Amino acid sequence: MGIFINQVKFLVKDYSHGKIKYIALGFLGAIFAGVAAIIGVSAFLGLSSANILQAMRFFATMRFVESQYVDTVDEKQLVDGAINGMVKSLGDPYSVYLPPDMYTRLKNQTSGQFGGIGVVMGHDGSNVHIISVMDGTPGEKAGLKVNDSIVAVDGKSTSEMEFEHVAMSIRGEAGTDVTLTIGREGEPNADYTMTRSMIHYDTAAGRMIDDENNNVGYIRISSFSENTAEEFKKAYDSLKEKGMKGLIIDLRGNPGGFLTTCVDIANFVVPKGLVVSVVERDGTREEYMSNHDGDTIPAVVIINEASASASEILAGALQDTGAATVIGTTSYGKGSVQVVMPLTDGDAVKLTIAKYYTPNGRSIAGSGITPDILVELPKDSVRDVQLDAAIKNVKDKIFPEN
């Protein structure tokens, strides 16, 4: 409390001439009028004295700006900016303030009522780039390519936007247009206007690798959606019926999805036991287990820098348990859990509350999954050298004498 009073005295001292002196004294009265209310609310919320002092700093500054700024200010705009700055100060790209329009888009997205252009994006600092383009989507038809930089969305520079805001600005109601300014190496920036559409595609599909033995199965998982586990089971059972003796799981470009879907798939390929732990700041731990009782077949997982979240959980569990060899390049490193807290003006805060840990206790956040065998995929490569390496590795497991 003493610190706060000293700050107000400093204000009166600095503005102790003429009319400004009375303004400052009036401001002092307004501040003290709110102190009792702040203390009462703080006590109700169980806040410490340090919390109360910080709240006083905030309200004092807000009241000072409201009453003394040279132009009329919008109180809601001040609070929105303060909340945005508060969350941004965490330095976490996955914790963001969602204004009403962004929060509405997020709710529509999670309820399936949204359209898109069919691209998966990544970001490196302020640079947002495309890491995969889905077949038959507006993005593919428009000519977007992997490694394209997204410079602006509808004229707004992505360097001025949170990554989450970029993604939600590109998504929207099916049938509406969005214009991306694209940067491509060796070419001037160009605008691409696309009409959003509902993106429908199978998230897991399998086939037998066509060779003389015909005993290696291949399943590509593009994301972990509500139906992915069912699609994986269908592909897995079909390959088993065809005589599959080894399995390649391709998680390249998979941005993640539902944790529960990932665990459902782990039940087919991860030995019985821990798949992933979700640990909160206070040490609270929630563990997700595989109930797979039978033998696991020789397996290889392919990942790259665009494999994120649930992809990393599955790859990490298979690696830690020794159930599969991981081939490719280091994954993205998105190993955290977010929750959304709605606010009172149709806005919300999305906040990281926990981190994922592999069965051996490795944190995925920031570091990703390092492959057992590093295989880069050259940009202009005619062959898929990562898949070639995976096929060789799984065949060596099936026929170790060779």
Torsions phi, psi for 279 (to 5 deg): -115, 125
pLDDT at 40: 61
Torsions phi, psi for 119 (to 5 deg): -125, 150
The boundaries of every CATH 3.90.226.10 domain in the chain are 204-398
Instruction: Assign 61 to helix, strand or coil.
Output: helix
Query: What's the whole-model pTM score?
Result: 0.72
pLDDT at 262: 95
Q: Identify whether 319 is a catalytic site residue.
A: no
Give the Cα separation of 206 and 269 in Å (integer).
Answer: 15
Q: Which residues contact 18 (CB under 8 A, 6 or more apart)?
A: none
pLDDT at 35: 59
pLDDT at 120: 79
- 42, 225, 238, 338: the catalytic one is 338
> Which CATH number describes the domain made up of 204-398?
3.90.226.10
- 95, 311, 334, 386: the catalytic one is 334
Q: Would you say domain 114-195 falls under CATH 2.30.42.10?
A: yes
Structure tokens at 26: 């009036």
Q: Identify whether 242 is a catalytic site residue.
A: no
Positions in the chain whose pLDDT score sits under 50: 1-22
Q: Identify whether 309 is a catalytic site residue.
A: yes
Residue 290's identity, in one-letter code, is S
- 132, 309, 319, 336: the catalytic one is 309
Give the Cα separation of 252 and 330 in Å (integer).
Answer: 11
pLDDT at 37: 57
Structure tokens at 358: 């592999």
Residue 121's identity, in one-letter code, is M
pLDDT at 253: 84
pLDDT at 38: 59
| Ramachandran sector of residue 329 (left: φ over 0; alpha: ψ -120 to 50; beta: rest) | beta
- Edge-to-edge strands of the sheet including 373-374? 204-208, 216-221, 246-250, 299-303, 325-328, 373-374
Q: Which residues contact 247 (CB under 8 A, 6 or more apart)?
A: 216, 217, 218, 219, 236, 239, 269, 297, 298, 299, 300, 394
Cβ proximity of 47 and 6 under 8 Å: no
Instruction: Assign 204 to helix, strand or coil.
Output: strand
pLDDT at 383: 87
Name which of 260, 373, 278 is nearest 324 in CA terms: 373
Name which of 356, 360, 364 is nearest 323 in CA terms: 360
pLDDT at 88: 93
pLDDT at 101: 87
Name which of 238, 236, 286, 222 is nearest 260 in CA terms: 286
Rg (CA), the chain: 27
- Rounded (5°) CA angle 26-31-33: 95
Kindly list the distances between the CA atom of residue 142 and the CA atoms of 114, 156, 192, 196, in Å, as whole numbers in the listed order.
19, 20, 7, 11
Name which of 275, 333, 344, 290 is nearest 309 in CA terms: 333
Cβ proximity of 140 and 134 under 8 Å: yes
